[in-house]
Structure 1
Amino acid sequence: MDFIVNNFDLWTWVIIPILIFLARIVDVSIGTIRVIFISKGFKSIAPVLGFFEVIIWLLAISQIMKNLENWVSYIAYGAGFATGTYVGMLLEEKISIGKVILRVISKKDDCEMIEELKKKYRLTIIDGQSPTGGTKAKIIFMVMKRSEVKDAVAIVNQFHPKAFYTIEDVKYALDDGANPVQKRNVFSFYRKSK
């Protein structure tokens, strides 16, 4: 037992794997956020995030290359990647950047629901029917911020819990049909007003 305790290298077998694990969580989470920013049109911050993502990755992989015999580092690297992916998904949900389209298909008369939704959102309503021509339905379209989806779905569920709805990302939308929605820069809060 004394042989194991005396020859156990705490730095190699515990500290380095923990640092690799944490580095992978951070760099994979940054990578996830970077991809989200690119897809939402925030292209100015993506290179900065990419820089830090790669620097952190290089630090992690260099420790593995220095300690190739340390199998615990391999496990830490893989576990850090998996955990970083999960953390990145959680961050993506919390950030809620961009706009979505909420499409609600209802087979019943939802005048109250429509009136309640009109108080907070702009709607487009289309009459529809099933392919056989029997069942009539209302199709309601709403473009909104991702952060507003939960409230809109709560209104739909309040009036019609069995309504079918879909949510899709919107890359670009026009506001009022005439003025384009301002593309928000992540650093826009630093700008002085004109």
Structure 2
Amino acid sequence: MHLTLTWQSLLVALGIFALRVCDMSLDTIRVLFVVRGRKGLAWALGFMQSLIFVIAISSVLANLDNPLNIVGYAAGFATGNVVGMTIEERLAIGHLQLTIISPLRGAAIAELLRSHGYAVTEVAGRGLSGTVTILHVGVMRKNLSEVETLVLEADPEAFVTAEEIRPVRRGYWRA
């Protein structure tokens, strides 16, 4: 293997890089749709991803004499993962179950969230230092920052966790 640096060899390596970025970005998003049960989208993304993958790997294997192709392939793989994650974050598709624990302001948090259209379930609990209010709120991922801001407004000391969920039946979801 030797490195012959020409414009053509550089363009081929960049093309392989771009194909792998697309391939892996689609793969990352596809996996998230599979987990969320979105069969049609998962199929379409899988089809496109595998088509791009075949073109990319064929280009590498047809030109093994250019080590830049292998570097482009590997760099595209790594970059595609990050790009896919970034796209998925921006799409913010899905649902979250927030658990909010507040020792003093639980009722105030619940009322503030309800006044903004969120369904809240309140549960009394006992923590290390005494009684606490535990709030459960189902939210669309795209609304997370709004809810987080509201909670901090009502109680800056509240403890908040989020879990990805897949709703099965009924419930209220603010769009």
Common fold: TM-score over 0.5: yes
Aligned pair partner of 1:152 in 135, 147, 156:
147
Root-mean-square deviation (CA, aligned residues, Å) is 1.7
Aligned length: 169
Bigger radius of gyration: 1
**How far does the alpha carbon of each residue in 1:80-122 deviate from its partner, in whole angstroms, 9 at most, with x for none?**
1111111111111111112110110111133332211112201
The separation in 1 between residues aligned to 2:127 and 2:41, in whole angstroms, is: 46
* Aligned position for 1:118: 114
Q: What is the aligned partner in structure 2 of residue 171 from structure 1?
A: 166
Residues of 2 paired with 1:170 and 1:43: CA distance?
17
2:102 pairs, out of 86, 94, 106, with 106
Q: Secondary structure at the match of 2:110?
A: helix
The one-letter amino acid of 2:95's match is K
- The 5 Å alignment of 1:120-135 reads 120-130=117-127, 134-135=129-130
**Greater CA deviation, 164-173 or 19-28?**
164-173
Report the Cα offset of residue 8 of structure 1: 4.5
Post-superposition offset of 1:46 = 1.2
TM-score of the aligned structures, taking structure 2 as reference length: 0.90
Match in the other structure for 1:64: 60
Match of 2:88 among 89, 92, 99: 92
Q: Find the aligned partners of 1:125 and 1:63 in 2 and give their Cα distance.
A: 58
Alignment partners' CA distance in 1, 2:34 and 2:154: 37
Residue 185 (structure 1) aligns with: none
Tell me how far 1:176 sits from its aligned partner: 4.2
Instruction: Output the CA distance in 2 between the equivalents of 1:11 and 1:47.
Output: 35
Distance 1:8 1:155 in 2: 56
Identity of aligned residues (%): 31
**1:15 counterpart residue number:** 11
Structure 2, unmatched stretches of 5+, are none
Q: Find the aligned partners of 2:112 and 2:166 in 1 and give their Cα distance.
A: 27
Please say if 1:76 is aligned against 2:72.
Answer: yes
1:35-91, Cα deviation, whole Å (9 max, x unpaired): 111111211121121111011111111111111121111111111111111111111
> Cα distance 1:117–1:66, how it changes in 2: closer, same or farther (>3 A)?
same
